[in-house]
Structure 1
Amino acid sequence: MAEAHQAVAFQFTVTPDGIDLQLCHEALRQIYLSGLHSWKKRFTRFKNGVMTGVYPGSPSGLLVVVVGYMSYTKYSKIDPTLGLLTKLGTHVPVSRYITTDGQRAVGGILVATGLWVTIIFIMRNVLKRLLSWHGWMNNRHGSMSLSTKIWLVLVKLFSGRKPMLYSFQTSLPHLPVPSVKDTMKRYLESVRPLMDDEQYNRMEGLAKDFEKNLGPKLQWYLKLKSWWTSNYVTDWWEEYVYLRGRGPIMVNSNYYAMDFLYVFPTHLQAARAGNSIHALMLYRRNLDRAQIKPLMALNTIPMCSSQYERMFNTSRVPGVEEGRTTPHLSHMSRQVDVIQHVNESKHIMVYHRGRYFKVWMFYDGRLMLPREIEQQMERILADKSEPLPGEEKLAALTAGDRVPWAKAREMFFRKGKNKQSLDAVEKAAFFVTLDDTEQRYEPDNPVQSLDNYAKSLLHGKCYDRWFDKSFNLIVFKNGTMGLNAEHTWADAPIVGHLWEQVLALDPVKLGYTEDGHCKGKVHPNLPGPLRLQWDIPEECQSVITSSLEVAKALADDVDSHIFPFNNFGKGLIKKCKTSPDAFIQIALQLAHFRDKGRFCLTYEASMTRLFREGRTETVRSCTVETCDFVHAMMDGKRRREEKLRLLHVATEKHQMLYRMAMTGKGIDRHLFCLYVVSKYLGVDSPFLKEVLSEPWKLSTSQTPLQQVELFDLRKHPEYVTSGGGFGPVADDGYGVSYIILGEDLINFHISSKHSSHETDSHRFGSHIRQAMLDIMDLFHFNENAIK
C-alpha cells in the first residue's frame, strides 16, 4: 500500500560528507504509543491477576483488616504480634535493625495480613462447599423452597462484591466422578427403548460384567485423575474428540451464528464490517480487563469462565506426529493438532477476492474507531490486484483433511515469506471475510434464502474462510453478516455471548449515518492494510486442489433447512406448566418417529459449567417415557387426557435427566473417560467399545439467549437473531439446533446429508412444525393463542 512508508522509523544515506540520518518522527511517535499501550495492557493484566487471586477479598479489605487489627490491639493494649517477635528476638537480634515500636508495627501488619489470607481461604472453601449443593434445581419454575432461599443468601454472603470474569474460578467445585454402578444403571435405562428384549439382555450382560470386573479398576485411575486435575474430563475431551480428529473440521466440527433476521442496519459492506469489527475489539478489551460479568444462574450462582481465555488471538494448528508415543493407543490417531494462543495481537486478517490483508487495529495508541475501520475495508474492496499463484484457494487446506494440511504446512510454510504470512494469519485477533456474495432473509423467498445463508456461513466456497481460527467474521456484499467458529477451544454459548454483545452494539449504540456509513470521520493519515505475500509452489497448489475437492464434496452434501416457528413460543408453552426445552425435545422425538418410523439414540447438549473447567454433557433425551407418549400420539384411539398425562411424565423425566447432566451425574463423559483409561492400560472392553461406537442419529442443541437485557423484544421484536447451527453428526442422521426468542418465536436449524436416502431436512422441518402444533393442540388453547 502507498501508506506503508509511514512504518519506516528512519532512513539513512551515505554521502561524501558522511551519513545523513533522517528520522521519521511520526513513525517514532507510533512506536512510543504502541509501547505505552503494551505496558498499560501488561499492568492491567497484572492488576486483574492480583484482584482475582485474592477474591473474594480485596486490597481495600486488607487495609480494613490491618487498620482494624492494629487499632484493636492498641486499644486493648495487646501485643499485635501475639508474642511472636519476643520468641524471634531470642534467636535473631531484631532490635539492632528496628525499634521496638517498628517491630510492633511490622509484626502487627504481618499478623493482620495472615488473618486476612485466612479469612479469604475460609470464604473460598465455604463457597465451594455451598456451590457443591444443587438442590436448588429441584424447585419448580416460579417457586423457591425455604432451604433454597437460605442457601442463596449464604452464597451471596460468601461471594464477595463486584466479581470480575475469573473471580470465582478457584471457588468452583470439581466435577464429581459418578460411580460405575450408577452409570451402568442409567445407561441401560437410556437404551431400553431402542432395543428389543434379546438385544437388551445381551447389553445388560456386558454392562454387568464390566461393572463387576474391569470397571472398578478403570474407575480407580479416573478417581486418581479427578483428585489431581481441575476437571477429569476436559483435557481428554479436547484432545480425543477434537484435536485428534483427522477428518475435515469444516461442517463436521465448526458451527455458525446468524445475523438479525428482519433488520438490515446498512447496505454498505465496509460500514457493517467497521462497526462489527470495532464491537468485537471492544469485547476483547473488556475480556483482557476481565470486565465482562461472569454468567450467573439465578443472578447468584457462578458459571465457569475458563473457556473465554482463548476466544481471541487463537488458531488451531495441524499436527503431523504427536511428540509422545502411546503403544496402546495405536488404533487411535497418534497425530494431534494443537491450539496456539498468543497473549496479544494488534491486527486482524481480512480476506477478499482471493487476497489476504493484514489490518492493524490500533493507531495513535488507541483502538481504531468504526469509521476508520470502514476506511480500511473500503481500501481493500477498492484494491484491484490479482491473487498470487495458489493464494486464492489457500484456505482450502484448513477445510480438508488434517494430515495433508499438516504435511503441507511442515513442507511449504516453515520459512521465508510463507512463514511470515502464515504467522500473520494464525496470530491475528480473528479472521474476517469480505464475501462477494449476497445473503439475507427474503420474505418473498424465505426457505431458499435462509437455507443458502446457513450453508454460506457453515462452509462458504470452502476456501474463503480460515476454518482453523477461533472464529471467522463473515460480512456479505449486501451488509448481512455472521460467524463461523472452531469448536475445540470453546462451546457455542461462549461464542453466543460474544455475538449477542456485537449485535446489541452494532445498530443501536454504534449506529450508522443516513447514507449507511459508520458514524465519525475518515482519518487523513491512516496507514493502509498490508497485503500478504506468498510463494506457493505447484506441488503445494496440488495439495490445495486435493483438499478443496474433499471439502467441496462434503459441503455439497449438506442439506440445510432453517425455519422460524412463530405459531407460538415459550410464553404459551409455560402456560402448559412445562419446560420449553422439554416440550421441544419431545416434539423432536415425535417428529423423528413420523419421519423414520423408529426411535434413535438422541444427543442433547447440556453444559457442566457449574464445575471448574466444565464443558458439556449429554442428555439422552429418547427415554421410555417419551416413547410411551409418542406411541400414544400415533394411536388415534388414545384419549386426550391420557396423552396429557404421558406428556407430563415425559417432560418431568427429561427435566430430571437435564438436571443430572448439569450436576455431574451424566452417562457419556464418564464412559468416554473410562474408555480412554482402558486404552492407556492396553485392555479391551467389549462393553465400552460397543457403547462408544453407537451413532447419534439425532443430535440436538439449544442456543441460549444469555443476555436478555440487551434486547427488548417486546418493543423491538425485529431485533432478533436467527441463532446458529451445525452440520449433521451421522451420515444418515439429523443435526438440529434451536433458539427460543422472546415469548412467541423459536428458530430451528436442521442439517442432514443429501447422500442419505433416509433423511430430508425440509421434510423433517415439516414434521417438527406439525409435532409442535399437535402437542400444543392437546391443551385446547383457542386459535388466538396458537397463530
Structure 2
Amino acid sequence: MSSGGKPPIYPLVKKFPTNFERRVYRTYNWFDNLLWPVRPLPFAGAIAIAAGIQYRNPDQYIFQYLPEIGNKVVEHIAKVSIVSFFTYIPVFILRKLLKWFYFSYKGFLFENPKKPSLTTKIWGTVRYLLSFSKPILESCDALLPNMPVPSLDHSITEYLSSMKHILTDEEFKIVWEQAENFKKNEGKRLQRYAVAYSLFADNYVTPFWEKYAYLYGRYPLLINSSVAHCDLFKNCDATRAHRAARVIYVEVMSHLACDRQQYKPLGDGVVCTRHYQKMYAGTRVPGETVDTLVNYGISKHIVVQLRGKLYKLSVCDEKNNMFNIEQLTKIFTELLERNNWENGMIGKVAALTHDRRDGWQKNRERFFLKNAENSKILNEIESAIVFLSLDETEYFNDWEKPETMGHFLTNMLAGDGTNRWVDKSLNYTVSKNSRAGGTTEHSIADGAEFDHIFENYVYTDYDVIGYPTIEEQKKMEIISDSDRKSLKFADELKIKIADEEMLAEIERCYNLHQEAKNDVDMYPVLFRDFGKGRIKKCGVSPDGFVQMAIQLAAYLDQGKFVLTYEPASSRFYANSRTETLRTVNDHSCEFVIAMVNENESKEKKIELLRRACETHVQRNKACMVGKGIDRHLFVLYVLSKAIGISSPFLDTYGSQKWILSTSHVPNVTGQNDEDTDKNMTWLGACFGAVAADGYGVCYRFGGNHSILANISSYHSSDKTDSTRFANRLKEAFHSLSALFD
C-alpha cells in the first residue's frame, strides 16, 4: 500500500465553511471567473490607480460632459464607476479575443504534431502564456464557444453511411428514400428552428438531451440508466470502519473543493466544467411525467444505510470543525457496534426508489411528503452529500476466477434492492471486507466528470494520505470517554409506516427489482496478456484497436454488423455533454470481413486495421469539433414532436436500438501509477445493456499492461450471452495482436 506524502491536488480543509464564508468565496470566484485571465487583485489595483488619478484630476476631459449632480459624494461615486467600466474594457476585449481564437481553434487536432502550422504555433504560444494565470474550475466556462449546428446534408449523409452495413438492402432503400424526402420537406423547417434556437443558447443540444434522454425516462434508474463505479483490483488493507471513514473524508474534501472551484480543470480550462457542481448533495426528484434535478449546494452530513436502518452522520461538529479520518473511524466504529437490525419490510424502504419513476413519484407523495415525520427524513436523505451503504456482503477479486469480480460488478450496478437511494447523485458502498464502489445517477454528468472525481479520490486516498497499518487502524477504533463527549455520533432516521399499503408497495418494488437484478448477465474480461503499451507499438490507436476487436467479436457473436454506440466528447463547447461516435463504417466492416476470411493475407489485414483505426480516430475528432450527427438528429426529432411535424425519417431514426453500447473509461489526469503495481489498477465501471437483445461493454486500459472490459447483457434474451461474447472478445484481442507478430 502507498505510504502517502505526495502533495494534495486540492486543500484538505479542517473547517466547514459558514454560510457567510461561502458567500464570500463564491462572490470572489464569480469575480475571478468574470475577469480571467486577469486576476481580481491586479484588476482592483488598476481600478484604485485609475480612481486615484480621477480624484486628483477631477476636470479630466472624459468627465467634462457629465451633467452636474450637485452632490459631490454621489458625483465621485459615479465617476469611479465610469473609471471602473473603462478599466474593464481591455479585459472584456481580451476575453472576446480568447473566445474567438484560443478557445475556438481546433486545427491542432488534425495536424501532424511534429509539423504544426503557423496558426497552431501561435495557439500554442497563447496557451503557454495563459499557463502563468492558472484558471480555477469554472474560469473558462464562459469563454468556450457555442455548440455549432451541423448542416442537414452532412448529418443525413453520415447517418446513411453508418446504416448501410447494418440494414438489409430493402430496409436501407426505404430509409434512404425517407432521408431524401426529409431533406426536401420537413427537414428544412426543423433545421431552421434548431439554428434559431442555437442563437439564443450556448448549447442547442444539452437542455433537450438532459430533459428528454434522461429526465423524461419513466423506467427504473438502476441497471437502465445509472452507472456503477468500482474499486481498485487490490483490496486495501483496511478495517471496515476505517475504509468507510476514508471514503467519506476524501469525498467531503472533494465536495468542498468543487464548491470552492479548487479542482484543477481538465485541459487547463479548454473543456466544459459546468456539470461538476451537480455531483454532490444532489438528488433527482421523481415527477409524474418528468423528473427534476435539485442540488443543495454544500451539506454537512451523509446518510448511512446499515442492517436495514438509516442514519444521519455529520461530517463536522457544531463549531464547523471537520472530523478527520481518525475521528470518522471512531464514529463508524460506534455505529457498527450498535448491532441493530431491521428485519421487517420497513428495512427495505429504499426499494421504493427502485420503482418506475411515475410509481415512485406517487409513493413519495403518499408515504413521505404527506407524513410530517417522514417528510423531514426524506429531506435529510435528499440533501445529504452522498448515500453510503455499509453492506453485510463480502466481495472478492481473483484474476483466475472472473466470476468473483462479476458478482462484485453486478452488485455495484444493481445493489440488492435495499442499499441504494436511487435518486441520489452518488451512492457509495463499503462491504464487510472493506471493498468499495457504488452507483452514479447519470443525468447529472458523464464519464469524464466521474473519471476525474474517482482518479482524484484514488490519488488522495493512496498517494496523499496513505494507509496506516491494521494495528494502527484498530487503535483508531478505540473510543475513549473524551471521544464520546467531543464526537457527534450518528442519529437514527426512523421512517414511520404510513399504512399497510406502504409495506405492500415496498415489497412489490423489492420483488420487481430482484427480477431485474437476476436478469443481469455480467462478465468481466480481465485481459492481462498485453495492454496499451503493446498496442502503441503496433502503430494503431489503442481505442481504435479495442473498438475493432469489439466489432470482430460482435460479428462472430451475431453473424452480422449491429448498430454500435460509443460516447465521444464534445466538451470543447459550452455546457456540453457527449456526442455519439458510430463505430460501424465502410472501413471497420472491410477489416472485419478480412479477418474472417482465411484466404486474406496478413499484410492486407494489417493495412485494413490501420485504416479502420485511423478512420475511427478521425471520426472521433469530428465529434469533438461539433460535427457529430446523433445529437443533431436527436434535437430535430424532439422539435418534430414538440411542434407536431410528422417525419417518417425521424421516427425511423428514433426507433432504432443500440444493440452494442460501448464506453471507454479514459485516464483523464495521468496522476495515478498503475504500472508499478498491477494490482493497484482501477477496475473501471459498468452499465446495463441499452437494448434487451444487446450488449453493454465498458472498458479501460489498466496502465500499459491490461485491458479490462465489463460486459453486460440479459439472461432473458436468447440472442446474447456475456460469457460467450467475452471469450470472443479475448480471441479478437489475440487475433489483432498476432497480426504484428
Give me the TM-score of the superposition, normalised by structure 1.
0.87
Shift of 1:520: 5.9
1:664 equivalent to 2:626? Answer yes
For 1:497, the equivalent position in structure 2 comes to 452
Matched residues in 1 for 2:29 and 2:283: separation? 25
Aligned 8 A contact 1:594 1:767 in 2: yes
C-alpha distance in 1, partners of 2:132/2:87? 14
Please give the alpha-carbon distance, in whole angstroms, between the structure 2 residues aligned to 1:263 and 1:148: 46
- 1:214 aligned to which of 186, 198, 221: 186
Q: CA deviation at 1:718?
A: 3.0
**Contact 2:675–2:705 at 8 Å: present in 1 too?**
no
Matched, 1:463 2:418: yes
Show the counterpart of 2:64: 86
Q: Partners of 2:410 and 2:17 in 1: how far apart?
A: 44
Name the SS of the counterpart of 1:550 in structure 2: helix
* Comparing 113-122 and 79-88, the one that deviates more: 79-88
Question: Do the aligned residues in 2 keep the contact of 1:65 with 1:112 (CA within 8 Å)?
Answer: no
Task: Please name the residue that 2:224 is paired with.
Answer: 252
Contact 1:194 1:599 in 2 (8 A): yes
**TM-fit CA distance, 1:343:** 1.7
- Distance in 2 of aligned mates of 1:545 and 1:228: 48
2: distance between equivalents of 1:688 and 1:617? 18
Task: Return 228-237 or 628-637, whichever deviates more.
Answer: 228-237
1:622 matched to 2:584 = yes
- Find the counterpart in structure 2 of residue 578 from structure 1: 540
Note closer, same or farther for the CA distance 1:421–1:648 as it changes in structure 2 (3 Å cut): same
Shift of residue 391, structure 1, vs aligned partner: 2.4
The number of residue pairs the alignment matches comes to 718
Q: Does 1:632 align with 2:574?
A: no
> For residues 172 and 371 of structure 1, what CA distance do their matches in structure 2 show?
43
Distance 1:36 1:220, change over 3 A: closer
Task: Indicate the SS of the match to 2:195.
Answer: helix
1:347 matched to 2:301: yes
1:761-785 Cα distance to aligned partner (Å, 9 max, x none): 11111111111111111112xxxxx
Shift of 1:501: 1.7
Q: Does 1:311 align with 2:303?
A: no
SS across alignment from 1:306:
coil
Cα 1:87–1:388 shift into 2, 3 Å:
farther
Match of 2:109 in 1: 137
Aligned counterpart in structure 1 of residue 569 of structure 2, from 607, 613, 635: 607
Change (3 A) 1:508 1:516: farther
Query: In structure 1, what is the equivalent of residue 392 of structure 2?
Result: 436
CA shift, 1:111, in A, is 5.2
1:23-172 matches, within 5 Å, as 37-66=18-47, 82-88=60-66, 91-92=67-68, 97=72, 107=79, 109-110=80-81, 112-130=83-101, 131-140=103-112, 144-157=116-129, 161-172=133-144
Q: Distance in 2 between matches of 1:605 and 1:59?
A: 38
| Residue pair 1:404, 1:547 contacting (<8 A) in 2 also | no
3-state SS of paired residue (1:222): helix
Query: Does the 8 Å CA contact 2:140/2:269 hold for their aligned counterparts?
Result: no
Give 2:262's aligned residue: 291
Counterpart contact for 1:62–1:113, Cα < 8 Å: no
Contact 1:557 1:754 in 2 (8 A): yes
CA–CA separation in structure 1 for the residues paired with 2:228 and 2:148: 32
1:336 correspondence with 2:290:
yes
Contact 1:155 1:301 (C-alpha < 8 Å) held by counterparts = no
Higher mean C-alpha displacement, 195-204 vs 414-423: 195-204
1:73 deviates by 9.2
- C-alpha distance in structure 1 between counterparts of 2:517 and 2:146, whole Å: 40
Q: 1:504 deviation in Å?
A: 1.8
SS in 2 for 1:737: strand
Aligned mate of 1:474, from 426, 429, 440: 429
The partner residue of 1:198 within 151, 156, 170 is: 170
Q: Within 2, Cα distance between the matches of 1:34 and 1:169?
A: 28
Using the alignment, how far apart are the partners of 1:717 and 1:366 within structure 2? 38
Report the structure number with the largest CA radius of gyration. 1
Question: What's the CA shift for 1:373?
Answer: 1.2
Partner SS for 2:716 = coil
Quick one: distance in 1 between partners of 2:500 and 2:52? Answer: 79
Aligned-pair CA distance for 1:63: 4.0
Give the drift of 1:406.
0.8
Query: For the Cα contact (< 8 Å) 2:235–2:434, is it kept in 1?
Result: no
Report the Cα offset of residue 418 of structure 1. 0.8
**Shift in Å at residue 389 of structure 1?**
5.0
- Which of the numbers 269, 274, 293 marks the counterpart of 2:245? 274
State whether residues 55 and 160 of structure 1, in contact with CA within 8 Å, keep that contact through their aligned partners in structure 2. Answer: no
Q: Tell me if the contact between 1:124 and 1:170 (Cα under 8 Å) persists in the aligned partners.
A: no
Q: Tell me how far apart the structure 2 counterparts of residues 731 and 725 of structure 1 sit (CA, whole Å).
A: 16
Distance in 2 separating the partners of 1:70 and 1:544? 67
1:395 is paired with a residue whose SS is helix
Q: 1:160 to 1:304 in 2, by over 3 A?
A: farther
Specify which of 325, 329, 334 is matched with residue 379 of structure 1.
334
Structure 1 counterpart of 2:282, which letter? T
Q: Select 1:426's aligned residue among 367, 379, 382.
A: 382
Judge conservation of contact 2:138–2:269 (CA < 8 Å) in 1. no
Superposed displacement of residue 513, structure 1: 3.2
Task: State whether residues 354 and 513 of structure 2, in contact with CA within 8 Å, keep that contact through their aligned partners in structure 1.
Answer: yes
Contact kept? 2:235, 2:435, Cα under 8 Å: no
Letter in 1 for 2:527: F
1:553-572 equivalences in 2 (<5 Å): 553-572=515-534
Match of 2:354 in 1: 399
Q: Which runs of 5+ in 1 are unaligned?
A: 1-32, 321-334, 781-787
In the other structure, the counterpart of 2:195 is 223
Match of 1:173 in 2: 145
For 1:326, the equivalent position in structure 2 comes to none
Query: Shift in Å at residue 192 of structure 1?
Result: 1.3
1:391 aligns to what SS in structure 2?
Answer: helix
C-alpha distance in 1 between matches for 2:533 and 2:344: 56
Of 362-371 and 161-170, deviating more is 362-371
Letter in 2 for 1:191: M
For residue 133 of structure 1, report the CA deviation from its aligned partner.
2.0
- SS of the aligned residue for 2:679 comes to coil
Kept in 2: contact 1:123–1:158 (CA 8 A): no
Once residues 375 and 311 of structure 2 are traced to their aligned partners in structure 1, the CA distance between those partners, rounded to angstroms, is 15
Q: CA deviation at 1:496?
A: 1.8
d(CA) in 1 for partners of 2:495, 2:314: 19
Q: Percent identity?
A: 33
Distance 1:534 1:553 in 2: 26
| RMSD value, Cα | 2.4
Shift of the 353–35 alpha-carbon distance from structure 1 to 2, 3 Å rule, reads closer
Q: Deviations over 1:713-736 (max 9, x none)?
A: 343433211111101111111000
**Deviation by residue 1:459-512 (Cα, 9 ceiling, x = unmatched):** 121121111110111000001111211101111221221112222222343233
Corresponding letter in the other structure for 2:507 = T
1:26-74 deviation line (CA, Å, top 9, x unaligned): xxxxxxx999733222222222222122222222232453466579999
**SS of 1:136's equivalent?**
helix
Q: How far apart are 1:301 and its partner, in Å?
A: 5.8
Q: CA 1:512 to 1:151, structure 2 compared with 1: closer, same or farther past 3 Å?
A: closer
Q: 1:454 aligned to 394, 405, 409, which one?
A: 409
CA contact (8 A) 1:371 1:517 kept: no
Aligned ranges for residues 722-761 of structure 1 at < 5 Å? Answer: 722-761=683-722
Q: Give the direction of change, closer, same or farther, for the CA distance of 1:111–1:429 in structure 2 (3 Å limit).
A: same
Work out the CA distance in 1 between the residues paired with 2:456 and 2:15: 27
Contact 1:56 1:159 (C-alpha < 8 Å) held by counterparts: no
Deviations 1:366-393 (A, max 9, x none): 2111121121211221223332854211
